[in-house]
Structure 1
C-alpha cells in the first residue's frame, strides 16, 4: 500500500473511532453524527476495495500512461492541469492543497488550479479494464466531502422552484445547482427521478436560441455533473427533453457550452443502451462539427464523446459519413491533439468507408511519415494499427507501403523496437506484403519476396 493510502486509511480510522465513541457514549447523539460515521466507514470500505483490486492487477501490468504520476496506480478519475499534465483527481487535489498550487511535474506555480476531466483517457482506461478483465477501482473520495442534510434537500427544492421565476433568479439558481451537483455526490443522487430532471429543464421551454448564454451553460454543466452518477445516465438519455437540449447546445451554444454538452454525451455514453439512443438522436453530426470548429479543449471533449459512441458499430458509419476522417487528418497534420485523434481514427478505421476516406486523402503517406519520424510509443502504435487495416482492406496501397519499406525499413524497425501491439501489427503488415521478416531484422533495406497469394486474414 502506498504511503498516501496508508495516511488516508489512518485518518479514516481515527475519524471513525472518534465518531463511534461519541455515538456510543452519548444518549443524545445526532443523526448527522451517525451519517458522518456511515460515510467514513463507506470511504474506508471503498479504499479497501481499491487496494484489493490493485493486488488483482499485479499479473496484468498497467500501461504507464494509465497510471497517476503521483500514486503510480491506475487512474480512476483522470484530470488535466493547465500545464497539460494528467493526474488522478484525489491525489493531485491533495498535492495542490499541500504544495500551494505547484505542478508536481512541471514545477510551475499554477496561475489557475483548474482540474479538467480527461474524458478520452478515462474512456480508454475503461475499455482497457474490460479487455483485460480488470475491475476498475471506485474513485477515492475525500473524507471531508459535505454531508447531505435536510437543509440541503430544502435548498435543492428551493433552487428548482426558482428556475420558474425571473431570469435573474433562474441564473442564480442554475449557477448554484451547477456547483452543488459538481461537489456533492448525494445531490446528484437526488436527481435520480424524472420529476427532478423535468424541474431542472423548466427554463428550456423557451428554446436555446433566446436563452441567456450564462444560464444555458450552467444548465448544461449541471446535466454533465448529474450524469456522473451511473444511475442517472439511463434516466437522462431516455428523457427526450434532455436529449433535445443537448443537441441544440451542441449545435448553437457558445464553445464552452458546446464543450460541456459533448462531455455530457461522453458521460452518458458509458451505458451501451445510451450509445444507441444518442447515435440515433443526430448528435454525431454536431460532435463532428465541434471537432472541426472548437478550441483544443472542446475538440478533446468532442473526440472523447465520439470515441465512446463508436463502440456501437452503427455509430462508426455515421461518424465517417459526417466527414470525421478528413477533419481528423487535417488536425493531425496541424499537430493538434495527435495522440487523442489517432486513437479515435484507429477505431473508425475498422470500417471500410473510413479506410476509403483515409486512402483518398493521403492517409497512407502520412501514417508512414509518423511511423518513421515520431518517437511517442502510443502514437506509433495507433499509426501501425490504422496502416494494418488499410493494408488488408486496400490491395492497391500495398505497393506504396512496400516501396516505403524497401527504402527505409520503417516497419522492420518497428518490429524490433515498438510496443508489443505495434510489433504484432508491423509483423502482420510485412507478412501481408510478402516481406521476409527474419531477413528484414538484419537489413535496413529489406529484401522482398512477392507473395501473389497473400490476402486478408
Structure 2
C-alpha cells in the first residue's frame, strides 16, 4: 500500500528533526576546549551531548520508526541542546574571574540545561525506535549520567576560600594567588591580557548593571598579574622595579602612529585600512594630501573611523606597564562610542542620521562603524536594533558603492547573532536584498551575505523564506565560483537550508548534484567533506536520491572509502548506505563493483560511525546474496 500524504509529511518532519539534532550536536562538537573554573562542568555537558550522536545517526537512517510522540520529544530535545550550546559558548567567551565570583549563577544555568535534556530524553520511548541494542544502552547510560549530574555539581569550596582571602586581604599569600591562577588557567601574560580584555568588554557593555563589584575583579586581576610576572623567572620583583624607574617599557610597533612614531591615544582608520593618531592624519589631510602616508595608496574618502579594538588594547597595555595615557577630549570611557551608555543612545543616533542624510562617504563610514559595534558584544547588537538601524542597513544593501554594501551586509550578519534580531531582519524584508548581494562584485560582501543567510536559517521558518527568495541557485554559483572562504560559507548555508525538504528539491533542480560530484573528483579544492555532507542530506529525499544515483557516484564513493581521510571515509560510507538502503538494484551494483572488501576494512579500521554504516551495508549485501542463492536453488 502506498503511503498517505500524512505519513509522508510525518516522515519528512521526522527527517528534518533528526537533521536539526545532528547539526546542533556538530556545532557543540566544534566548540573549542573550555579552560578555567567551569571547565569540568562544560566538558561533562559537551561530552554527554556528543554521546547522543549515534542515536541521531541511526534515526536518520530510519525516520519511519519515529512516531508523532517521539517526534515532539526529539524537537524538544533539539531545543534543549541548543540551550546547552549557548551556555557552553557563553562560558567560553566570558571572563573567568566573573565566572568564579558568580559560580552559583552558572551552576544554576547548567543545572537547568541538564534537567531539560534529561526530561526530553526521558520522554522518548527508546523501545519504539528502530535502533540497535548498543545505541539504546549508550543512550540509557547518558540518561543515568544526567540524573547523577543534577546532584553532584563540582565542589568549589577550596577555590571559594582562596578567593575570599584574595579579595579581602591587602597582602595575599603568594601561594594562594598561585593556586587561584592555576585553577582559573591564568598562567602567563597572554592569559592575563585575554582576561583583562574580557573584563573590559563586560564592563563597557554592562551599562552599569553588573551583579559583581568591578573594583573587586580589577583588584584580583592586578594581584594575579603581579603573581604571574613574579613567577615568570625573568627577574626578581626588586630588580624589575629598580630597572623600571630608569628604563621605560618598549612601545609595541602596532601601538605607534606611523607618522609621529609616538604612542597613539586616539587611533583612527583611513580608507586603506591603516591606523593613525587622529590629530596627525587630520593635519596630513588638511595639508591637501590625498594618499595614505604609509602605503602611498590613494584615499577613496577622507572619513576617519575610530579603531576601538586597538584603543582598548593600548589602554590595557598602559595599565599593565604603569603608564598614564594622555587623554584627548576626555578619557577612553568618555569617547562618543567608547562606553555602552553613549553607544546605546547618542553615538548610534549620530550614525543613523549619517546613514539617512549623509553623502556616500558618510554613509559608508557610518555603516562601517555599526559593523564594528555589532561585532563587539551582545548588548550593542540589541541597542543597534532597538535604535532602528536594521531597515536603514537593508536600504544600503542596494548601494552602488561596493564598500558600503559590504559594510551593510556584514553589519546585518553581526546583528543576526542575536536570536530576536534574526526575526527583525527577515520581517524587514531583507532576504531579497541579501540574495542580490550574493551576486555583487565584492567577494567579501558575497561571503558575508552567505554567512548571513546561514545565520538567519537557524530558525526553521526562515529556511523556507530564504529558499523562496531565490537564494539557493545563487549560493550554488558561489559554491562553484567563489573564493575558498566563499565556497565554505556557501556550503554551510546550503547544508542548513537543505534540512528543509522543499529546499532539497530546489537545489537538485538547480543542478547542485553535478557540481558536488566535481568537488569530489577534485580533492585539491578542499571541499570533499562539505560536498559529501550536502549529498548525504539530499539523499534523504527521493529527488535527491534519484539525481545522485543518475550521476554514477558509487564508484567514486568506493574510491573515497579506500583512500580518503577518516572523516571522508565515514561520510562516504554514510552516503552509500543512504543510497542503497531499500534499493536492491543499487545494492547489486555496489556488490558488483567489489565493495565488500572496502566495507570490511572500514568496519574494522574506521570511526565508530563508519563501522556502523559499513556493517549495516555489509548486512544488506549478504541478505540479497542469500536471497539470490535461494532463488537459484529453487529454479534448479
Same fold (TM over 0.5): yes
* Partner residue in 2 for 1:152: 343
- The 10-residue stretch of structure 1 (332-341 or 365-374) with the greater mean CA deviation from structure 2: 332-341
- The 10-residue stretch of structure 1 (332-341 or 392-401) with the greater mean CA deviation from structure 2: 392-401
- Give the counterpart of 1:56 among 45, 60, 82: 45
- The 10-residue stretch of structure 1 (285-294 or 55-64) with the greater mean CA deviation from structure 2: 55-64
Matches within 5 A, 1:175-254: 175-193=368-386, 195-204=388-397, 207-208=398-399, 211-240=400-429, 242-254=430-442
**Residue 537 of structure 2 corresponds to residue 347 of structure 1:** yes
- Cα deviations by residue, 1:356-403 (Å, 9 ceiling, x for unpaired): 2222222111000000112x2221111111111221354333333102
Question: How far apart, in 2, do the equivalents of 1:269 and 1:238 lie?
Answer: 13
CA contact (8 A) 1:237 1:278 kept: no
Question: How far apart, in 1, do the equivalents of 2:472 and 2:34 lie?
Answer: 42
CA contact (8 A) 1:433 1:451 kept: no
Question: How far apart, in 1, do the equivalents of 2:573 and 2:34 lie?
Answer: 39
Question: How far apart, in 2, do the equivalents of 1:300 and 1:452 lie?
Answer: 47
Question: How far apart, in 1, do the equivalents of 2:520 and 2:88 lie?
Answer: 23
- Cα deviations by residue, 1:329-371 (Å, 9 ceiling, x for unpaired): 1112111211122112211111222222222222111000000
In structure 2, the gaps of 5 or more residues are 1-31, 54-83, 97-119, 122-138, 147-194, 206-338, 632-636
Q: CA deviation at 1:412?
A: 1.2
* Partner residue in 2 for 1:433: 621
* Partner residue in 1 for 2:272: none
Q: CA deviation at 1:239?
A: 1.8
**Residue 608 of structure 2 corresponds to residue 420 of structure 1:** yes
Question: How far apart, in 2, do the equivalents of 1:348 and 1:366 lie?
Answer: 17
**RMSD, aligned CA:** 3.6
Is the alpha carbon distance of 1:279 and 1:191 closer, same or farther for their aligned partners in structure 2, counting shifts above 3 Å? farther
- Cα deviations by residue, 1:224-253 (Å, 9 ceiling, x for unpaired): 00001111111112221x112101111234
* Partner residue in 1 for 2:560: 370
The aligned length equals 337
Q: CA deviation at 1:159?
A: 0.7
TM-score (norm: length of structure 1)? 0.66
Question: How far apart, in 2, do the equivalents of 1:405 and 1:168 lie?
Answer: 64
- Cα deviations by residue, 1:399-422 (Å, 9 ceiling, x for unpaired): 33102336x611111122222222
Is the alpha carbon distance of 1:367 and 1:276 closer, same or farther for their aligned partners in structure 2, counting shifts above 3 Å? same
TM-score (norm: length of structure 2)? 0.48
SS at structure 2 position matched to 1:142 = helix
CA contact (8 A) 2:393 2:409 kept: no
Matches within 5 A, 1:56-95: 56-59=45-48, 90=93
Question: How far apart, in 2, do the equivalents of 1:274 and 1:170 lie?
Answer: 29
Question: How far apart, in 2, do the equivalents of 1:156 and 1:163 lie?
Answer: 11
CA contact (8 A) 1:182 1:225 kept: yes
Q: CA deviation at 1:53?
A: 4.6
* Partner residue in 2 for 1:143: 199
- Give the counterpart of 1:385 among 561, 565, 574: 574
Q: CA deviation at 1:170?
A: 0.8
Which of the two has higher C-alpha Rg? Answer: 2
Question: How far apart, in 1, do the equivalents of 2:467 and 2:387 lie?
Answer: 22
Question: How far apart, in 2, do the equivalents of 1:276 and 1:238 lie?
Answer: 14
CA contact (8 A) 2:480 2:487 kept: yes
Question: How far apart, in 2, do the equivalents of 1:89 and 1:341 lie?
Answer: 30
* Partner residue in 1 for 2:599: 411
Question: How far apart, in 2, do the equivalents of 1:174 and 1:269 lie?
Answer: 24
